[in-house]
Amino acid sequence: MLICAVVFAVSFRAYTPSDRESAAGTPPSHTAFEANLECHQFVKDRLKAPSSAKFSDFSDSLVMGTSDGPYVVRSSLESQNALGVMLKTRYMCTVTFQGKDAHLSSLDFDN
């Protein structure tokens, strides 16, 4: 009896759609947390010293949007400028998703 339950559980999971895409092929839904992480990467791509970036916690960020997008992320980070001085910078990033890919719509920095 136990073996039947284990086989059923394994086979059920094998045919269960993944968390990112349903069996019908509907596009994956995205979360505010994913949008925030994508914005981190878009911001890092524009920094003089990307390895020095220290982003604010997710709980300190403002993320607006739905899984259909777009998402608008307002947050801040500390990073080194060209002279090596750590500066705090605020940013607003708008990101959209097409399938699994994230696309930057806009990115603005404030000091």
Residue 8 lies in a domain: no
58 has a pLDDT exceeding 80: yes
Q: What is the DSSP letter of 14?
A: H
Q: Is residue 3 part of a domain?
A: no
To the nearest whole percent, how much of the chain has pLDDT over 70? 75
Q: Which has the higher per-residue pLDDT, 12 or 89?
A: 89
Q: Which CATH number is 45's domain given?
A: 3.10.450
Question: Per the structure, how many domains does the chain have?
Answer: 1
Contact partners, residue 100, CB within 8 Å, separation at least 6: 20, 28
CA–CA gap between residue 95 and residue 39 (Å, rounded): 7
Which residue carries 């899984």 as its tokens?
Answer: 67
Query: In this structure, is residue 95 part of a structural domain?
Result: yes
What is the distance between the alpha carbons of residues 111 and 17, in angstroms, rounded to a whole number? 45
Produce one character per residue of 63-90: b if its CB has 16 or more CB atoms within 10 Å, e if not: bebeeebebbbbbebebbeeeeeeeebe
Token code pair at residue 90: 């605020």
The DSSP symbol for 69 reads: S
Domain housing 65: 28-110
> For residue 96, is it within any domain?
yes
Compute the C-alpha angle 76/81/85, nearest 5°: 95
Look at residue 32 and tell me if it is in a domain.
Answer: yes
pTM of the model: 0.74
- Give the CA diameter of the chain: 69
| Residue 9 included in any domain | no
Q: What is the pLDDT of residue 9?
A: 40
Residue 16 lies inside a defined structural domain of this protein: no
